Amino acid sequence: MNQVNDCDELDCVLKKSGRKLVVVALSSKRCGYCKLTTPYLESLIQHMPDVVFIKADVSESQELLEKFKCTGLPAFHFFHNNNRVYFFQGANTEFLGKKIQELRRLCN
């Protein structure tokens, strides 16, 4: 999973991703629910090479925290063609997986 540390790095990855679906996972090292979703995301990476997964630790970057107006973690922002198309907050991995599949179909 790509790791970004600031908005410039994020913008660069989004631009390079072209027409692929991009999932930005916002988390914090201190967030228990974030730790629960990480293994699930890593398994999705193995099965979805056409989706770009990005991890951003908002406890390390005030800039990213402010950009996404983060009010709870984990939070997931979905981008296509450098535009945000969906937002989900929470640790419901079943819903997260279904939403990624749905958006993946729409983006291809």
Whether 107 is catalytic: no
Give the Cα separation of 80 and 23 in Å (integer).
9
Task: Name beta bridge partners: 90.
Answer: none
Residues 6+ positions from 92 with CB-CB distance below 8 Å: none
Residue 12 is among the residues annotated as catalytic for this protein: no
Which residues belong to the active site?
A: 31, 34
